[in-house]
């Protein structure tokens, strides 16, 4: 686990975006933890979140995992995310274009569905998590229709969880399905394995989370991909 991953998990816990307890997921499973990126809801929180995204993307690029010429944020959660990632990348000396889409086609003004820089070159999709992969599929279609190349997806947290529902599960996760279907990498700031490793550390945040480690580990054993 890198320092960026550990600091991000502590940041998410401190901001109460990553919580422990009993939460019902979209798949109908009872999860001992919940991550809600919508709670990064102040300017300072969003700015710091963007810094973690930017660092993760640059680390992945340095490692040869991903290449990009611009960023794209799918409506709606991806819109503030792509903006803060672009700004934080610029602070780190990597100033790239960015764009996002609107759900409804606009027939006046600038028109169309894509706002911002024209989609071209290698485009990284910025999102919070991948559950069913719907927003990724829609983004890939938009990017390809513009003649550009989707080169990867950058998310905050990879739950590393098998798809399906509480009764019937697939063998792979939504992230793995996206990677296989579109032949492109999915980079996350942190994943469930990182969270479990973090909970073994000696920081105050890790110690506060440790009572839930057994439940999280059991969930990973049952539903992990």
Task: Residue 28: give its domain's CATH number.
Answer: 3.40.50.2020
Domain range for 47: 3-223
Rounded CA separation 71/124 (Å): 5
Active-site annotation holder among 24, 106, 180, 222: 106
**Residues 6 or more apart in contact with residue 163 via CB below 8 angstroms:** 27, 132, 169, 170, 172, 173, 174, 177, 225
The low-confidence residues of the chain, meaning pLDDT below 50, are: none
The reply to whether 61 belongs to the active site is no
pLDDT at position 31, please?
96
Structural domains of the chain, count = 1
Strand order in the sheet with 112-116: 112-116, 98-106, 70-73, 122-126, 149-158, 186-191
108 catalytic, yes or no?
yes
Active-site pick, 26, 103, 108, 120: 108
Check residue 111 and give its pLDDT.
54
pLDDT score, position 108 = 53
């Amino acid at each position: 686990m890198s320092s960026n991953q550990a600091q991000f998990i502590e940041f998410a816990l401190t901001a109460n975006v990553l919580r422990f307890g009993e939460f019902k997921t979209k798949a109908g499973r009872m999860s001992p933890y919940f991550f809600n990126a919508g709670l990064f809801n102040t300017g300072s929180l969003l700015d710091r979140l963007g810094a973690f995204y930017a660092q993760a993307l640059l680390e992945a690029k340095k490692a040869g995992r991903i290449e990009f010429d611009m960023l794209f944020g799918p409506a709606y959660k991806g819109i503030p995310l792509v903006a803060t990632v672009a700004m934080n990348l610029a602070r780190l000396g990597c100033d790239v274009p960015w764009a996002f889409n609107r759900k409804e086609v606009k027939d006046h003004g600038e028109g169309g569905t894509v706002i911002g820089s024209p989609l071209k070159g290698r485009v990284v999709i910025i999102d919070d998590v991948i559950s069913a992969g719907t927003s990724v599929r829609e983004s890939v279609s938009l990017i390809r229709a513009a003649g550009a190349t989707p080169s990867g997806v950058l998310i905050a947290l990879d739950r590393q969880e098998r798809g399906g529902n509480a009764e019937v599960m697939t063998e792979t996760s939504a992230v793995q399905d996206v990677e296989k279907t579109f032949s492109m990498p999915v980079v996350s700031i942190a994943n469930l394995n990182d969270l479990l490793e973090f909970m073994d550390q000696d920081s105050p945040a890790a110690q506060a989370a440790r009572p839930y480690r057994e439940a999280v580990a059991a969930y990973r054993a049952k539903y992990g991909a």
